[in-house]
Amino acid sequence: MSTNPKSCEILKHNSKYIPGGVVSVNRKVEPEIVFVRADGAYMWDADGKRYIDYHAAFGPYFLGHNHPRVVEAVAKILHDGTSLPGTGTTVLEGQLAELLCENIEAIESVILLNTGSEATSQAIRLARAVTGHDHIIVTQGGYNGWYDDVARQVMTPLEEIGPRLSPGEYRFIPMGSGIPTSHQQTTHIINFNDLDSVRYVCERYRVAALITEPILQNIGIVKPQPGYLRGLRELADRYGFVLIFDEVKTGFRHAFGGYSKLSQVKPHLVTYGKAIANGYPLAVLGGERELMDYFVHPDKSRRPLLAGTYNAHPVPVSAAIATLELLLENDGEIYRQVDSLGANMQEGIESILQSLEVRGIVARQGSAFSVYFMDHAPQDWHDLAENHDFEADGKWRRALIDRGVYIFPEATKQCSISATHTEADIAFTLERMQETLQIITSDGASRLRISRSATRNIEKHPSQLNESSVSNTNL
């Protein structure tokens, strides 16, 4: 008999009217749980079971679900007569734009959109308008949205991706059908942390932009190697392409402005979404004024189209303003608080891995972490595909969900701590992690087990990388 009958019933009902019963293919996972309520660090399913949430809806809830300050700001807008005029500018959009430009060094001017996909597609369109070139470079294992230019497979199985190509490029394997081959021909897919392959593509094509997450956070936490991001900027300046940091996931979760602030590498353009409005649909494209001004270029034929009925809708804009004001309080105290929870989580998991003699590593940036069942920190998707134990990862996640810890049930996916998680939540989670890992490795022949000495030698990750203090070894 099912342990979650109400979830099953709701899914069955919805499947009559929605293909597959779920409105985003990424959300169609096993176990099929229907959540009906969330507060802070917790979510409740339709059958009344409570979970500590580490999924955070793919990242936005950095402050926790339904944060009172954000809810209050939204409620005010709903009741004070503010609406979406849909003509001219608004006071609120000016307030948000000022808050961003005055506090983030990498951006001088912004546009406000609704989703991360809109922001990255506008960034690519702008780069094409500025350079007059069509080709773009993206990274294998990165995700930049669901539209035709960038919707390549993220987690391509080893059998499909084939041997490592460097310098070189992988073929475009679409994430779904319906993507014209013409789009696939102008998108070049290379490994993360691979400057040689950037040069390889630039020597062969007229490249408008390279777009990458500064940390690959759609396959866990895959960090840039020292010098990589700076090397990208240097190659962008040398070859004349626009460097776009896709900070839809990293932005505001790791620092006010994102990883470009921590790494001190300035892209030409940057995109934000998710944590910027703590769960409300808002995204931003920002960057150098000279580039952003193409949206109002005096020569109409050089202007990229910028439009959107719901751009800068007052509800998400007010949510973003409330979120950002909170993030700025006490010189960013919230980041220090959440980082300390992350550090405790990392330490706890590492000690469990060691005591159980499990071959594993914790990769973490502040509040975001991933456990990889391999013996080193992955440098790119190919490395992960070759070395990570996906089966054990999947099993572990499902065992944790059974015990009230909601970690997204797909191997390698990032876990996100929020400002409302407590030390007690972390302690509860670590107990469940110990229990479940013990069960998974109880078979003496488990592939996960390693010798004690090997566990000690597993490389540790710095929680913060300052690119300016490291040599440019990759150039």
Asked if residue 397 binds ligand PLP (CB under 6 A), the reply is no
Q: To the nearest whole angstrom, how small is the minimum distance from the Cβ of residue 36 to ligand PLP?
A: 22
- Please state the φ and ψ torsions of residue 161, each to the nearest 5 degrees: -75, -30
If you search the block for the tokens 């013996």, which residue do you land on? 375
Residue among 40, 51, 73, 116 that touches ligand PLP (CB under 6 A) = 116
The residue (of 115 and 156) whose beta carbon lies closer to ligand PLP is 115
The residue (of 116 and 314) whose beta carbon lies closer to ligand PLP is 116
CB atoms within 10 A of CB 179: 18
3-state SS record for 41-94: CEEEECCCCEEEECCHHHCCCCCCECCHHHHHHHHHHHHCCCCCCCCCCCHHHH
DSSP assignment letter at 250: T
Q: Where would I find the beta strands (DSSP E) of 355-424?
A: 361-365, 368-372, 405-406, 415-416
Q: To the nearest whole angstrom, how small is the minimum distance from the Cβ of residue 116 to ligand PLP?
A: 2
The residue (of 7 and 414) whose beta carbon lies closer to ligand PLP is 414
Residue nearest to ligand PLP (CB): 116
At CA 85, angle to CA 80 and CA 91, rounded to 5?
65
Residue among 53, 149, 169, 213 that touches ligand PLP (CB under 6 A) = 213
Residue among 42, 51, 54, 58 that touches ligand PLP (CB under 6 A) = 58
Asked if residue 218 binds ligand PLP (CB under 6 A), the reply is yes
- Please state the φ and ψ torsions of residue 79, each to the nearest 5 degrees: -110, -5
CA atoms within 13 A on the CB side of 225: 15
Interface region with ligand PLP, contact rule CB under 6 A, candidates 115-123, 173-181, 289-297, 387-395: 115-123
Q: To the nearest whole angstrom, how small is the minimum distance from the Cβ of residue 218 to ligand PLP?
A: 5
The residue (of 251 and 342) whose beta carbon lies closer to ligand PLP is 251
If you search the block for the tokens 């014209």, which residue do you land on? 180
Asked if residue 346 binds ligand PLP (CB under 6 A), the reply is no
- C-alpha pair distances (Å), 465 with each of 103, 104, 224, 470: 21, 18, 9, 9
Asked if residue 115 binds ligand PLP (CB under 6 A), the reply is yes
Q: To the nearest whole angstrom, how small is the minimum distance from the Cβ of residue 137 to ligand PLP?
A: 15
Pick out residues in 419-448 that bind ligand PLP (CB under 6 A). Answer: none
Asked if residue 120 binds ligand PLP (CB under 6 A), the reply is yes
Q: Quick one: which of 296, 254, 211, 231 has its CA closest to 104?
A: 254
The residue (of 143 and 252) whose beta carbon lies closer to ligand PLP is 143
At CA 83, angle to CA 81 and CA 85, rounded to 5?
135
Q: To the nearest whole angstrom, how small is the minimum distance from the Cβ of residue 318 to ligand PLP?
A: 19
Show the tokens assigned to 252. Answer: 């505001």
Q: To the nearest whole angstrom, how small is the minimum distance from the Cβ of residue 66 to ligand PLP?
A: 19
DSSP string, 187-233: EEEE-TT-HHHHHHHHHHS-EEEEEE-SSB-SSS-BPPPTTHHHHHH
Pick out residues in 237-266 that bind ligand PLP (CB under 6 A). Answer: 246, 248-249
Site string for ligand PLP, 121-160 (x = CB under 6 A): ----------------------xxx---------------
Residue among 4, 7, 117, 187 that touches ligand PLP (CB under 6 A) = 117
Show the tokens assigned to 43. Answer: 């979510």
Residue among 257, 273, 314, 409 that touches ligand PLP (CB under 6 A) = 273
Q: Quick one: which of 252, 245, 240, 249 has its CA closest to 228?
A: 245
The amino acid sitting at 134 is D
Rounded (10°) angle between helices 68-79 and 314-355: 160
Interface region with ligand PLP, contact rule CB under 6 A, candidates 111-119, 288-296, 348-356, 383-391: 111-119
Interface region with ligand PLP, contact rule CB under 6 A, candidates 110-118, 159-167, 233-241, 461-469: 110-118
The residue (of 213 and 467) whose beta carbon lies closer to ligand PLP is 213
Instruction: Return residues touching ligand PLP (CB under 6 A).
Output: 58, 115-117, 120, 143-145, 213, 218, 246, 248-249, 273
